[in-house]
Amino acid sequence: MLQPSVYVRSVLGMCTLVVSGAVLAQAYPTNPVRWIVPVTAGGPIDLVTRAIAQPLSAALGQPVLVEVRASASQITGVVAAAQAAPDGYTILSHSNLVPHKFLYKSPPFDYQRDFTPITLVARSPIMLFVHESVPAKSLNELIAYLKAQPGKLAYGSSGFGQPFHLAMEDFKRRTETDMLHVPYKGGAQVIPDLIAGRVQMTFFTLAEQLLAQVRAGKLRALVTTGEKRVADLPEVPTFDEVGIHSFDPMSYTAVSAPAATPRDIIERLNREIVRSVALPEVAKAYARLNLHPATTTPGEMAKMIAADIQNRGPMLKGLGITLD
């Protein structure tokens, strides 16, 4: 049996450990936080990240430095984040990284192995846009034109294996059509070429710039994903309405940290990012991009990704696309 003095010292020791852990958790961060964006500056992921970074910096009491590491298929930035120290001082914004698991023979990373989810921050329906030079004013007219002139039109995407590329390839498979793929290093590069007619089609979120072009008659939006029509363009039907069912590419922006980042830090980042997303000034940035705020717990995001792997794996394999 412990002597009273020994017992007291043991209890005090345990309390010291608990208090020390709490102090360490409260102390984070003591240095600037690096927030990697793996796509080109000026696109939806970059703009959403920058909108959140400012209030997040104020909440954490340290600078949150956005670092653009753009490359094809997000690879450079994602791998840099995966290899960073799991200490909470590097986080990553990204779109859906599940396809890499199925499109590479030797994937450069494994999301479930290399990352810890923090939260979703945005979701958005995506629309099929065509340049005014395309002689089609409805989806059925476009499909008929594509079948009559296979390979004539070119579509732009934010890169091989990115959600908009895979959405178009799935669309081609479902409609038995063909067109040329022009990949870019990010969505921000697609829009000017679409407006100029250098590519004639793309899947994209309804960014403010695209909405203005649609209203000016320079572009046409033919169809949208999602369960209901988009309020800004209520005349644009959903895929379900035009008879293409269960077509719902996972278009979202999420935030993750390197695997093994301490749980208390993940929870702190989740808490502060979720609060930042809810701020009015951030809501304005989302509205300009026609994005919908969407936040989760780390556990909810992990379950969403696991379900996406299970449900979409067969479709991704069926596209027959390889990236290495």
Same domain, 108 and 74: yes
Both structure tokens of 168? 């178009």
Nearest to 241 by CA among 257, 259, 227: 227
Output the average pLDDT for the chain. 89
pTM score: 0.80
Q: How far apart are CA 313 and CA 297, in angstroms?
A: 24
Same domain, 118 and 255: yes
Percent of the chain surpassing pLDDT 90? 65
Establish if 143 belongs to a structural domain.
yes
pLDDT, tens only, 197-212: 999 999 998 888 899 9
Same domain, 110 and 176: no
pLDDT, tens only, 76-96: 999 999 999 999 999 999 998
pLDDT, tens only, 126-135: 999 999 999 9
Model pLDDT, residue 26: 64
For position 48, which CATH number holds? 3.40.190.150
DSSP letter string, 158-213: SSTTSHHHHHHHHHHHHHT---EEEE-SSHHHHHHHHHHTSS-EEEE---HHHHHH
Establish if 168 belongs to a structural domain.
yes
Model pLDDT, residue 176: 96
Establish if 21 belongs to a structural domain.
no
Establish if 205 belongs to a structural domain.
yes
Domain that holds residue 206: 127-224
Tally of CB atoms within 10 A around 93: 27
What is the rounded (10 degree) CA torsion for 267, 272, 278, 282?
Answer: -130
- What's the number of domains the chain is made of? 2
Instruction: Tell me the sheet residues that pair with 180.
Output: 154
Same domain, 307 and 167: no
Same domain, 114 and 260: yes
Both structure tokens of 307? 């379900």
Establish if 230 belongs to a structural domain.
no
Residue written as token pair 């009559």: 148
> How many angstroms from the chain centroid is the CA of residue 208?
18
Establish if 7 belongs to a structural domain.
no
Residue 321 in this model has a pLDDT that exceeds 90: no
Same domain, 117 and 260: yes
> How many angstroms from the chain centroid is the CA of residue 120?
8
SS3 of residue 68 by DSSP: strand
Same domain, 105 and 166: no
Same domain, 140 and 275: no
Residue 10 in this model has a pLDDT that exceeds 70: no
Establish if 12 belongs to a structural domain.
no
Establish if 24 belongs to a structural domain.
no
Beta carbons of 75 and 36 less than 8 angstroms apart:
no
214 versus 207: which is more confidently predicted? 214
Residue 25 in this model has a pLDDT that exceeds 80: no
Same domain, 132 and 220: yes
Beta carbons of 199 and 222 less than 8 angstroms apart:
no
Beta carbons of 302 and 117 less than 8 angstroms apart:
yes
Same domain, 108 and 135: no
Edge-to-edge strands of the sheet including 154-157?
180-183, 154-157, 201-204, 127-131, 219-224
- Range scoring the smallest mean pLDDT among 34-48, 111-125, 279-293, 304-318: 304-318
148 versus 246: which is more confidently predicted? 148
Nearest to 217 by CA among 126, 130, 146: 130
Could you say which of 224, 240, 262 is where a domain stops? 224
Handedness of CA 95, 96, 97, 102 (dihedral sign): negative
Same domain, 166 and 78: no
For position 193, which CATH number holds? 3.40.190.10
Same domain, 119 and 131: no
